[in-house]
Amino acid sequence: MRDDFGRKIDYMRISITDRCNLRCRYCMPDGVKCVPMADILTLEEYVRIAACGALLGIRKIKVTGGEPLVRLGCSKLVGMLKETPGIEKVTITTNGILLERYLGELVEAGIDGINISLDTLDPALYSALTGGGSLQSVLKALECALKVCERKAIPVKINAVSLDLEDVGAQLDCGYNGPGWQEMLWIARKYPVDVRFIEMMPVGFGKQYRSLNHEKLLHQLQAMYPDLEKDKEIHGNGPAVYYRIPGFGGSVGFISAIHGKFCAGCNRVRLTAQGYMKSCLCYEDGEDLRQILRGNGTVEEKDEMLFAAMERAIKGKPMAHCFEHPEMMTEYDNMVSIGG
Ligand code: SAM
Ligand code: SF4
C-alpha cells in the first residue's frame, strides 16, 4: 500500500531478538539490558504479523535483531515467512559469527539474501569495536556463504558502518594503523560481493560516533579509481547507490541516510522484537501489535485490529527523518532494541 506521501511500502524489517553475541560500541555496548523473553514475540506471532503485512502490500522481509542467529528457530522462522502467501523475499542481516553453523539451515529454509555486517578488516580493531568478536570467524563464514550461495544464486553482501577507523582505533586504544575505510574495498575486489558503506545514524549509542561523509568518500574513491562507473544494475530494494570498479568482483555501495537523504523513496517499516511497529527510525511513534495479538478478542477481531493498526502505521509514516537535527528526534532507544 501507499503511505500518505504516496510512497509504496513493501518492505518490513523484523527484529526477532534484542539479544546479541557481540557488543558493538555504537549499538549494544556492555551494560545494555535486554527485555524478558516473555515480552518478545513468538515465531507464530511474527508470521501472523507478516501475513497481515502481506495483505497490506508487504512483499519483502528482512530478518534482523539484535543478532537474529542467536534466536533459536531463526531458520525455521525464515521457512515460515517464505511460506506466507504474498511474501516474495526473505533476507537476513547478521554479524556472521554464527553464520557458518546456520548457513545450511538458512539456505534450506529458502533465504533470498545474506547481509554480513563488518566494519573493519583489522582483527584488533574488530575485537575492540565488537566487544571481543573474532574477525577470523566472520571471514570464514563469508567464504563458506559464498561457496554455498553462489551455487544457489543467493546474493551475499557486506555492510560496513562508515567510521573513521583511525579515530575509533585511537578511542579504543587498539593501535590501529590501517588505511581506514579503504581497507573494506579488498572484499569487493577479491569476491563477488557488494560492499556497502552505511552512514552512522545518531540512533542510541551511534550518537557518540561520527560518520564519514559519503560525498567525501565517493570523491576519494573516484580519485583512487578514475574509471569508476555508476552501476545501473538493480542490486536489491534498498536505497544504496552502487559503483563498479573494473577488475573488482563486487560493487561498492553507499547508503547515505544523512548526506544523501533518501526519505522520499523510503519503502520500509520496522517491527521490534516486542512487536512494536515503527515507520521511521527517527521517531518513537508506532503501533503496539503485541498488545493486539495478546489482548482480548476472537481471532477474526484481532486480525481486523492488527490490519487497522498496521495500516495506520504505514499511512502515517513521517515524511522524513530529522537526523540532521538530533534534538528533534523522539526515538531514544538503542539500535539493538529497535532492530537495525
Ligand atoms: N546483528 C546484526 C548485524 O550486525 O548485522 C543485525 C542487527 S544490527 C543492529 C543491523 C545493522 O545496523 C548492522 O549493520 C549495524 O552495523 C547497523 N547499525 C547499528 N547501529 C547503527 C547506527 N547508529 N547507524 C547506522 N547503522 C547502525
Ligand atoms: Fe549486535 Fe549487530 Fe548491534 Fe553489533 S550491530 S551489537 S552485532 S546487533
- Residue 20 clears pLDDT 90, i.e. is over it: yes
The 10s digit of each residue's pLDDT in 190-244 is 999 999 999 998 888 998 998 899 999 999 999 999 999 999 887 776 788 999 9
- Residue 330 clears pLDDT 90, i.e. is over it: no
Q: For position 315, what pLDDT does the model report?
A: 95
Q: For position 150, what pLDDT does the model report?
A: 86
Q: For position 269, what pLDDT does the model report?
A: 96
As given in the structure block, the three cell numbers for residue 334 are 538503542
Ligand 1 centroid, distance to 104 Cα (angstroms): 24
- Residue 255 clears pLDDT 70, i.e. is over it: yes
The 10s digit of each residue's pLDDT in 146-195 is 999 888 899 999 999 999 999 999 999 988 988 999 999 999 999 999 99
Evaluate: CB of 64 within 6 angstroms of ligand 1.
Answer: yes
Yes or no: say if 241 and 215 are a contact pair by the CB < 8 Å rule. no
The 10s digit of each residue's pLDDT in 259-318 is 778 899 999 999 999 999 999 988 989 999 999 999 999 999 999 999 999 999 999 998
Q: Distances from the Cα of 59 to the Cαs of 42, 103, 107, 203, 289, in angstroms?
A: 21, 23, 19, 27, 19
Question: In which residue are the cell numbers 533459536 written?
Answer: 72
- Residue 254 clears pLDDT 90, i.e. is over it: yes
| Strand, helix or coil for residue 104 | helix
Going by C-beta distance under 8 Å and a sequence separation of 6 or more, which residues neighbour residue 287? 276, 277, 309, 310, 312, 313
Evaluate: CB of 201 within 6 angstroms of ligand 1.
Answer: yes
Nearest CA to ligand 2 atom 4: 24
Q: For position 241, what pLDDT does the model report?
A: 92
- Residue 336 clears pLDDT 90, i.e. is over it: no
Yes or no: say if 282 and 318 are a contact pair by the CB < 8 Å rule. yes
Question: In which residue are the cell numbers 481486523 written?
Answer: 304
Yes or no: say if 186 and 121 are a contact pair by the CB < 8 Å rule. yes
pTM reported for the whole predicted model: 0.96
The 10s digit of each residue's pLDDT in 118-134 is 999 999 999 999 999 99
Evaluate: CB of 209 within 6 angstroms of ligand 1.
Answer: no
The 10s digit of each residue's pLDDT in 71-120 is 999 999 999 999 999 999 999 999 999 999 999 999 999 999 999 999 99
Q: For position 237, what pLDDT does the model report?
A: 66
> What string of DSSP letters covers 260-306?
T--GGG--EEEE-TTSEEES-TT---EEEHHHHHHSSS-HHHHHHHH
Nearest CA to ligand 1 atom 4: 95
Selection from 120, 111, 49, 114 nearest residue 86 by Cα: 49
Residue 191's DSSP bridge partners are none
Ligand 1 site-directed mutation target among 14, 19, 26, most atoms within 8 Å of CB: 26
Tell me the mean pLDDT in the region 17-44. 96
> What string of DSSP letters covers 36-100?
PGGGSPPHHHHHHHHHHHHHTT--EEEEESS-GGGSTTHHHHHHHHHTSTT--EEEEEE-STTHH
Q: For position 294, what pLDDT does the model report?
A: 98
Evaluate: CB of 67 within 6 angstroms of ligand 2.
Answer: yes
Q: How many helices and strands in the chain, by DSSP H and E?
A: 11, 12
Tell me the mean pLDDT in the region 51-62. 98
User: Alpha-carbon distance 264 to 242, whole Å?
Assistant: 18
Q: Distances from the Cα of 312 to the Cαs of 1, 2, 233, 287, 309, in angstroms?
A: 11, 11, 34, 8, 5
Higher pLDDT pick, 127 / 333 = 127
Evaluate: CB of 272 within 6 angstroms of ligand 1.
Answer: no
Yes or no: say if 250 and 115 are a contact pair by the CB < 8 Å rule. no
Q: Distances from the Cα of 128 to the Cαs of 27, 30, 200, 332, in angstroms?
A: 13, 12, 18, 25
Evaluate: CB of 197 within 6 angstroms of ligand 1.
Answer: no
Q: For position 177, what pLDDT does the model report?
A: 86
Q: For position 8, what pLDDT does the model report?
A: 96
Q: For position 300, what pLDDT does the model report?
A: 96
Going by C-beta distance under 8 Å and a sequence separation of 6 or more, which residues neighbour residue 92? 62, 63, 64, 68, 69, 74, 78, 106, 111, 113, 114, 115
Ligand 1 centroid, distance to 69 Cα (angstroms): 14
